[in-house]
Amino acid sequence: MLLSALLTSVGINLGLCFLYFTLFSILKRQPGNVYVYAPRLVAEGKAQQENDFNLEKLLPSVNWVKRAWQVTEDELLTTAGFDAVVLMRIIIFSLRVFSFAAVVGVFVLLPLNYMGNQLNFDFIDLSTKSLESFSVSNVDDGSSRLWIHFGAVYIFTVFVCYLLYREYKSLSSKRIEYFLSSKPQPHQFTVLVRGIPVSSARSISDTVDGFFSECYPSMYLSHSIVRSTSKIKALVKYGDKVHKKLTSLKSSNQSEEKFTRSGFLGLFGKRVNMVDHYENKLENIEENVRTEQSSIIGKEVAAAFVCFKTRFTTATALHIRQAVNPTEWVTEPAPHPKDVYWPFFSTSFIRIWISNIVVIMACILLTIMFLIPVLIVQGLANLKQLEMWFPFLKGILSITFISEVITGYLPSFILQQFLSFVPPIMIMLSSMQGYIALSQIQKSACIKVLIFTIWNIFFANVLSGSALYRANIILEPKKIPEILAIAVPGQASFFISYVVTSGWTKTAENLFRLNPMVFSYIKRKFLGYSADDFAVPSVSYHSQIPRMLFFGLLGITYFFLAPLILPFIVIYYCLAYIIYRNQLLNLYAPKYESGGKFWPIVHDSTIFSLILMHVIAIGIFILKKLPLASSLIAPLPVITFLFNSYCHRRFLPMFQSYSAESLIKKDRDEQADRSMNEFRDKLTSAYEDPNLMPVQYSSSYQSLRSPLLGSSQA
């Protein structure tokens, strides 16, 4: 890719970012848009809704940047939860890493690369010069300057590992603190039990009671049997919708709207009073729900939520195998009642296991299918190939600007569009794996999306772009470093363009919320929706975290190969820092709290990036005929791996479960607390299926159906 093509891409995206920022600064202050830009504040009743219009509001303001900047981590913790803190920590950690990398890269390595003569470019015309002259490929073979690259790799690795260690340590102790300061939560006292042995003589409920009062006589509290309520759920959902329409209809003043015709699309037939119509419908639904509910009481599934009096007993029930037969009475941590989600709930471990195999197969298939867009994208980047395929395009492609857009902007834009389908697909696949909580599904999807992105965006592009793509690279482990060393530096400009498109513009779009903005406008103006219909969104960690981590991977691998990418990455993280802070404060409400379980993914991904960098470095030094440096790099991946395995041993268990020490301390602290009795009373009904509560479409209906779904802190 030529420098000019890259500049075109950067220009287009910079323009888009600027546009989004300006529009956001203006539109966010317009009446009505508060539901789009600060639904969280509206839901909490904190938004000032000024409906009067004045001209001053049309001027863009950057007050929001100041506000987002000033928020402390503690404020973030209380308002947005621990997961949000982890998200911000990822950004801050990356900013630290890449600020250091950018300083070293741009001021030390870049000039060194540029001074080399390996690639023999014309020194006069910078614009047509390939970007490769800034990369390590331009350094002369066997040059002693390469030792500076060598040193940079070592220093950078040590620096990143130090930061990783510090973050892991700080976050793990913060997680314990957060747990110790949290209020009692239902899921801290509850386990989910699957594989309850079914006998014809006793009901499942009696079996559960019998087993746990036998094993934990003083500590067993209660249980709720799981029932398959998908049919009632659909009915209740429909009822809610009708009830909402009815309410809005009743409150609306236009009597005209209250009538419709009973025939096709409301165009023919006799006039019907809409209020009567909906009320009849609602009664019907209520009736149906009641019949279903009474019939379902018998339909017990062999699974139950079991509540205990203390956290320590809950942990005991979790960690010790309960029954002699390991496939019976299988316990796992219960999610927060709000977090429970099981479209594919299953009690038998064989079904869970088979669906796992199916999901793995589906992921592999998806990865293979995704090679098609990747190959198209790489075809665009090689303009000559495109001309060969479609000769009639020759005329258009000879216009400089268009050819620059096509080679510079379009490839990463198309890839970005295809990639946006991946997170929803992965969420669907993860939910099929039999997880019982949204948080677990999102974490699993996050890992899937990350692996998918690294393989399909990094490796597939690198290897297909250099016509070296062969599936059998895995079968020749010795050649991997050299193949990567040849292929990776050549793709630097493509990835710079990718950072700009997928990083800058996508993040700015996230701020401006293009789609919700447009939909909300259409809904309000043409479909007569009221403000209540705009739900408060939650952070989609499974798409945001993999993107951040992928840029981290790009930055780390290209750090000494082509340092030109680093400033772009730093700018991306700066944008992300401000924008996510603003969004976490105004836009997103946490749906659940995983207690920072995303951090280990970040750690592992960074370690993988470091080791990938080392492998490429080994290849580069072989290619550059500096075999000594190549052998001296070899211990680095081993040391990094050992460091990682130390961290796993030292910190990972703290993210998986709480220790006996903390649990006992927390239990003891609450012993004297009188509100605990009240909490325990509520606990018994916390995991009752809300769909089994009596349905009554009156004003009190909403409050009836959610007994203990208060705060969602972990």
Q: Which is nearer to its own copies, 128 or 356 (CB)?
A: 356
Q: Which is nearer to its own copies, 209 or 509 (CB)?
A: 209
Cβ count within 10 A of residue 159: 15
Q: Token pair of 209, please?
A: 């009671």
Residue 173: C-alpha distances to residues 82, 167, 194, 662 (Å): 12, 10, 32, 12
Q: Which is nearer to its own copies, 475 or 672 (CB)?
A: 475
User: Among candidates 214, 232, 445, 440, which has minimal Cα distance to 334?
Assistant: 440
Q: Token pair of 326, please?
A: 């390991």
Q: Which is nearer to its own copies, 69 or 646 (CB)?
A: 646
Q: Which is nearer to its own copies, 421 or 646 (CB)?
A: 646
What DSSP line would sit under 630-695, residue for residue? Answer: HHHHTHHHHHHHHHHHHHHHHHHHHHH---HHHHHHHHHHHHT-THHHHHHHHHHHHTS-GGGSPP
In the bound complex, what is the minimum distance in angstroms from residue 310's beta carbon to its own copies? 12
Using CB under 8 A, list all residues that contact its own copies. 176, 214-215, 312, 315-317, 319-327, 329, 349-350, 353, 475-477, 645-646, 649-654, 657, 659-664
Q: Which is nearer to its own copies, 123 or 646 (CB)?
A: 646
Residues 6+ apart with CB under 8 A from 658: 176, 179, 311, 315
In the bound complex, what is the minimum distance in angstroms from residue 367's beta carbon to its own copies? 20
Residues 85 and 76: beta-carbon distance below 8 Å: yes
In the bound complex, what is the minimum distance in angstroms from residue 208's beta carbon to its own copies? 14
Residues 422 and 400: beta-carbon distance below 8 Å: no
Residues 6+ apart with CB under 8 A from 632: 150
Q: Which is nearer to its own copies, 313 or 456 (CB)?
A: 313
Q: Which is nearer to its own copies, 124 or 324 (CB)?
A: 324
In the bound complex, what is the minimum distance in angstroms from residue 477's beta carbon to its own copies? 7
Q: Which is nearer to its own copies, 291 or 657 (CB)?
A: 657
Q: Which is nearer to its own copies, 284 or 645 (CB)?
A: 645
In the bound complex, what is the minimum distance in angstroms from residue 413's beta carbon to its own copies? 39
In the bound complex, what is the minimum distance in angstroms from residue 610's beta carbon to its own copies? 20
CA distance 439 to 76: 20
- Residue appearing with tokens 């050992």: 642
In the bound complex, what is the minimum distance in angstroms from residue 332's beta carbon to its own copies? 14
Q: Which is nearer to its own copies, 175 or 591 (CB)?
A: 175
Q: Which is nearer to its own copies, 167 or 286 (CB)?
A: 167
Residues 183 and 711: beta-carbon distance below 8 Å: yes
Q: Which is nearer to its own copies, 547 or 597 (CB)?
A: 597
Residues 6+ apart with CB under 8 A from 76: 84, 85, 88, 581, 584, 585
In the bound complex, what is the minimum distance in angstroms from residue 476's beta carbon to its own copies? 7
Q: Which is nearer to its own copies, 117 or 659 (CB)?
A: 659
Longest alpha-carbon distance in the chain = 92
Residues of the chain by 3-state class (helix, strand, coil), percent to 5 = 70, 5, 25
Residues 44 and 585: beta-carbon distance below 8 Å: no
Helix (H) or strand (E) holding 224: strand 220-227
Residue 55: C-alpha distances to residues 26, 28, 36, 51, 59 (Å): 11, 14, 21, 13, 8
In the bound complex, what is the minimum distance in angstroms from residue 320's beta carbon to its own copies? 5
Residues 688 and 666: beta-carbon distance below 8 Å: no
Q: What angle do CA 15, 21, 23 make, to 5 degrees?
A: 100
**Ramachandran sector of residue 325 (left: φ over 0; alpha: ψ -120 to 50; beta: rest):** beta
Cβ count within 10 A of residue 3: 19
Q: Which is nearer to its own copies, 194 or 705 (CB)?
A: 194
Q: Which is nearer to its own copies, 311 or 614 (CB)?
A: 311
In the bound complex, what is the minimum distance in angstroms from residue 308's beta carbon to its own copies? 13
User: Among candidates 110, 109, 132, 112, which has minimal Cα distance to 120?
Assistant: 132
User: Among candidates 527, 543, 547, 332, which has minimal Cα distance to 436?
Assistant: 332
- Residue appearing with tokens 């209740």: 236
Cβ count within 10 A of residue 635: 11
In the bound complex, what is the minimum distance in angstroms from residue 313's beta carbon to its own copies? 9
Residues 449 and 46: beta-carbon distance below 8 Å: no
Beta-strand relationship, 190-194 and 300-308: antiparallel
In the bound complex, what is the minimum distance in angstroms from residue 159's beta carbon to its own copies? 23
In the bound complex, what is the minimum distance in angstroms from residue 659's beta carbon to its own copies? 5
Which residues share a beta bridge with 303? 194
- Residue appearing with tokens 């990865």: 367
Residues 452 and 359: beta-carbon distance below 8 Å: no
In the bound complex, what is the minimum distance in angstroms from residue 350's beta carbon to its own copies? 7
In the bound complex, what is the minimum distance in angstroms from residue 410's beta carbon to its own copies? 39
Q: Token pair of 400, please?
A: 């400089």
In the bound complex, what is the minimum distance in angstroms from residue 355's beta carbon to its own copies? 14
